[in-house]
Amino acid sequence: MVVKIPYYIIVLGTAGSGKTTLTSMLMNYLDSHQMDVAAVNLDPAVEELPYNPDVDIREWVDAREVMVKRGLGPNGALIASVDMLALNIGELKDEVDSLKSNYIIIDTPGQLEIFAFRDSGPVVLRTIIGDSKAVSLFLIDGLYALKPSNLFSAMLLSASTFFRIKYPQINVFTKIDLLSEAEYSGLLSMIENPEELASRVVEDADINLMWSSEEVYGLAEKLYSFESVPVSNNSGQGFDDLYALIQRVLAGGEDYL
Ligand code: GDP
Ligand code: MG
């Protein structure tokens, strides 16, 4: 069977969820398993990266420069930078197309909404990826997710992001190295069992003013159609499972090498 490479791995999530750190760890992981991997940085405002990007948006747009030149505040400059990239996507695409790697990881801007919930983000992704295969990793901070209503709202945001980005999506819970054993098993039982999440959400939050527990359960069940995996971007814990899920989506479970 002819397999079309490269495969794209898009890293999404709210600011600080660990996108850049995961990109770096996943590069190391794939590299140490003899896979050929490259990274594209699409964050125009990042100062320092823990990995060497093969293609870097800052070559074309620098959010700080845009801020000064256009007299914009930080948010306006970020929005303008991502929109400017969409207008000049041709050169970036040529650079990505010249990469010979099997996997290309795309690290996205810090603020999810600037990328996923405006026109330019999905357009940029669609242009880069073309008809190749891609998977989205939606990162959720594991510490934040300990509170049931936080976890539920993060999973709703993940679904909402999926409606915008439209590639198969995996929820990745980060920072599990910061959890105690009891916290980790509490998180696992919620992310493995929609009934448990739903009952705890109803206990924990006032959303029962708005939704019945049956409705919350129905929603939670739908949200669990996304696979979930807990990881630490520091220790690499969980990366075997993450890789297995990525492979299942991209190559039907087979290593294509
Ligand atoms: P981004 O805004 O989504 O790209 O997030 P970053 O990758 O920049 O991470 C935000 C902060 O969280 C940084 O200080 C990281 O070192 C830290 N971080 C990210 N992932 C992990 C993790 O798995 N464990 C721990 N302990 N810290 C993490
Ligand atoms: Mg980042």
pLDDT per residue of the chain (257 residues) written in tens, 0 to 9:
555 689 999 999 999 999 999 999 999 999 999 999 999 999 999 999 999 999 999 999 989 899 999 999 988 999 999 999 888 899 999 999 999 999 999 999 999 999 999 999 999 999 999 999 999 999 999 999 999 999 999 999 999 999 999 999 999 999 999 999 999 999 999 999 999 999 899 887 666 567 888 888 999 999 999 999 999 999 999 999 999 999 999 987 665 54
List the one residue out of 230, 225, 253, 226 whose CA is nearest residue 242: 230
Residue nearest to atom 19 of ligand 1 (CA): 18
Q: Which of 12, 14, 21 is the best mutation target for the ligand 1 pocket, counting ligand atoms within 8 Å of the beta carbon and taking the most?
A: 21
92-121 in b/e burial notation, b at 16+ Cβ within 10 A?
Answer: bbebbeebebbbbbbbbbbbbebbbeeebb
Q: Where are the beta strands (DSSP E) in the chain?
A: 7-13, 37-41, 55-56, 103-107, 134-141, 169-174, 227-230
175 alpha carbon, closest ligand:
1
pLDDT of residue 257: 45
Task: Quote the pTM value.
Answer: 0.95
DSSP string, 88-140: THHHHHHHHHT---SEEEEEPPSSHHHHHTSSHHHHHHHHHHTTS-EEEEEEE
Which residue do the tokens 């003013």 mark? 209
Q: Which residues contact 64 (CB under 8 A, 6 or more apart)?
A: 45, 77
Amino acid identity for residue 85 in this structure:
L
Residue nearest to atom 28 of ligand 1 (CA): 175
Q: Ligand 1 atom closest to Cα of 24? A: 7
Which residues have any ligand 1 atom within 6 Å of their CB?
Answer: 13, 15-21, 110, 174-175, 177-178, 232-234
Q: Are 16 and 141 in contact (CB under 8 A)?
A: yes
Q: Is 214 helix (H, G, I), strand (E, B) or coil?
A: helix
Q: Are 22 and 139 in contact (CB under 8 A)?
A: yes
Q: Quote the tokens at residue 191.
A: 């992310």
Residue nearest to atom 9 of ligand 1 (CA): 18
Distance linking the first and last C-alpha atoms of the chain: 12
Q: At what angle do helices 194-204 and 148-165 cross, to 10 degrees?
A: 120
Q: Which residues contact 37 (CB under 8 A, 6 or more apart)?
A: 26, 27, 30, 31, 101, 102, 103, 104, 105
